[in-house]
Amino acid sequence: MALLPQVRWPAKPVESVGNDVPSDELIPAWTGKGAPRVIVMRQGGPAMLFNLCNCAAPLASSGGPLCIGGAGFVTAVMATLAANVRTREAKRLRENVPEVDQVAVRIVTDNLTQLFVPEETRDGLTIERRVPFSYPDRSPRYILNAEWGLSLQAQSFAGGEERNVLVDFGFTPEVLNNNMAIIGIDPSTFDAMVLSHGHYDHFGGMVGFLERHGRTLKKEIPFYVGGEDAFCIRRSGESQFGALDRKAILDSGLTLMMSSEPAVVADHAFTTGRIGQVSFETPLRPTTEIIGIFDGFGCFPEKMPPEKNTGGYIPDNFDHEIATIYNVKERGLVVLTSCSHRGVINTVRAAMSASGVDQVLAVIGGFHIVPPLNDDYIRRAIAELRAIDPKYIIVGHCTGDRFYDLARIELGDRVIHSAVGTRFVFTGGL
């Protein structure tokens, strides 16, 4: 992952470039149109795009000549070659939807820690809570941290077999690694990892996690993303919002799995694939993205829809976002929404459609119902959730306090707030 401050301003093509441009403002880039180019970025000024050399073939085309464009292009070429070898289409979800006897979802990173909340046992659900500093073998200075971001660990059991999946990586590796160590999560047990979408508060902890734990991970374990779009460089307003580090994933020996369609994860879970717009929801679009490879980071243009390749930043429609789901025996679906940029109702219905299972046991994660979405919108979302009738609604991350308050009034104690360290254990019927 990289913050890429040098790609802070939009890329706009111009006819020529002057001779007074400092060399440190030249950034190798390829947007998939014509020959590879250099993009010039200037704070407060125009961004300029021009060809690196006279090669006619694009960088990623097979058999074409290679234009020499500096370290960034070498990185991009190597990333292209590695990605082609180590990237696969995920195993499609077919008729046989995985079913588990039990799944325990641990909140590793989230916005909130809680004290003085008792553990609970409900119908099909045990809630194990941890006081952030209640560890007899550690000094009180070691404490669970909360931050803006999300990371979940799912531990499932089916027919005597156990699987462990990490969903998202939070905002910083310091918090992710700290919380894993305190909770006692062993990354060597992971059977798969899923990244829900290409936002920094969900992948920001990844590189630091891989640097610390990459050597202990199982060989070539799958790393699921919803599509090439996950790697595009993004901005939030006028601020840079980073880019997912493809090279770090491949260098750690992971197998990159593209799951634009519903896909099986570690034999026990599945993803939604692309989430359709089937409800009233009009999700917020807080970021923009740009298509192309910039200094080795970004998304490959030939793998993106042509209409998105405009040469500049465009609104992010989160077409690549995915949710992760478990089907608990005789209880129904546990839907890990992560962030719900495509709409929480759309996300849950995508899970139902992909699996053919209408019963929903729980919805967990961020719902992305925040200002400027108003009370009328919130009440309509609550009504849709009531119609779907999940037994438990566990909100966190980007859900918004107003949604929580109104949902508690309308739906009562089936609405639960998540917190760092909490473990939600869902057990199937006999």
Q: How far is CA 64 from CA 36, 58, 61, 111, in A?
A: 12, 7, 6, 48
* Residue whose pair of structure tokens reads 């919130």 in the numeric block: 378
The DSSP code sequence of 351-392 is: HHHHHT---EEEEEE-----TTS-HHHHHHHHHHHHHH--SE
What pLDDT, on a 0 to 100 scale, did the predictor assign at position 141?
Answer: 76
* Amino acid code (one letter) for 39: I
Distance of CA 20 to the CA centre of its chain: 41
DSSP letters along 104-115, please? EEEEEE-S---S
Of the candidates 66, 106, 38, 103, the residue with the CA atom closest to the CA atom of residue 333: 103
**CA atoms of 148 and 170, how far apart (whole Å):** 8
Residue 80: the pLDDT is 55
Beta bridge partner(s), residue 363? 335, 393
What torsion do the CA atoms of 155, 157, 161, 167 make, to the nearest 10 degrees? Answer: -30
User: 193 burial class (0-12, 13-18, 19+ CB within 10 angstroms)?
Assistant: buried
Q: CA 372 to CA 412: how far, in whole Å?
A: 25
Residue 92's pLDDT is: 82
Between CA 168 and CA 296 the distance in angstroms is 22
Among 323, 342, 343, smallest CA distance to 334 is for 323
Q: Which fold has domain 89-427?
A: Metallo-beta-lactamase; Chain A (3.60.15)
Q: What is the mean pLDDT of each run of 10 residues along the chain (430 residues)?
A: 37 34 42 44 33 30 30 50 66 87 98 90 93 71 91 97 98 96 95 97 97 96 96 94 94 94 96 95 89 94 94 94 97 96 96 97 96 95 97 96 96 96 92
CATH 3.60.15.10: which residues of the chain? 89-427
DSSP state of 326: E
pLDDT for residue 403: 96
Helix 375-388 × helix 344-355 angle, to 10°:
20
**Helices 375-388 and 401-411 sit at what angle, rounded to 10 degrees?**
50
* Helical segments of 125-167, H only: none
H or E element: which one contains 75?
helix 71-86
Beta-ladder partners of 102: 157, 427
User: Which residue intervals of 184-277 are DSSP H helices?
Assistant: 200-203, 206-213, 246-251
pLDDT for the residue numbered 59: 30
Distance between CA atoms of residues 392 and 121, nearest Å:
13
Question: What's CA 357's distance to the chain center, in Å?
Answer: 24
